[in-house]
Amino acid sequence: MARHTLSVLVNNHMGVLSRVSGLFSRRGYNIESLSVGKSEDPNVSRMTIVVECEDDVYMQIKNQLAKLMDVIKIAEFEEEHSVKRELALIKIDAINGTRSQIMEIANIFRAHIIDVTNSTIILEITGDQNKVSAIISMLDEFGIKEVIRTGVSAIARGDSELKNY
């Protein structure tokens, strides 16, 4: 199985996300990551969808997506031709004896401390999925209370653009 990252431009209408996710659920395909937001055109949203599947299933997914009425354009982002990032917020138990260790790990991963209370620290980290997973693994021994991951966002390198025209 291979991991595929799709960028899908869709009309920014109510129900489009439901129709796209419904396509996946009806056919039994799993979405590993989904990120959606407005594009540079307020009438168009960009979905970044990550799936892990066989190549024949991937082609079926692309073909089925292309048939949806509100889908404008679909592109796959290959590793060497794109930049992919994820944002995570991580809330960790931080009793006095562990704060310095947590802060040291945050510095190593270039994470930002965005909130500190008497009992917790919240870190913000951006990076590829492996980097985010690695810091979560390192912090696990301190007691992770919550993890919120945005899902992958991707953009093509260089002059290549995904536009709706």
User: pLDDT for 92-123, tens place per residue?
Assistant: 999 878 999 999 999 999 999 999 999 999 99
CB 9 within 8 A of CB 162: yes
With 0-12 / 13-18 / 19 or more C-beta atoms within 10 angstroms meaning exposed / middle / buried, residue 63 is exposed
Catalogue all structural domains in the chain, each as residue range(s) with its CATH number.
Answer: 2-76 (3.30.70.260), 83-153 (3.30.70.1150)
User: pLDDT for 70-100, tens place per residue?
Assistant: 999 999 988 888 999 999 999 999 987 899 9
Q: pTM for the full model?
A: 0.83
CB 49 within 8 A of CB 31: yes
Determine the 3-state secondary structure of 146 from DSSP: strand
Does residue 67 have a pLDDT over 90? yes
The label of the residue with tokens 């796959």 reads 76
pLDDT above 70: percentage of residues in the chain? 99
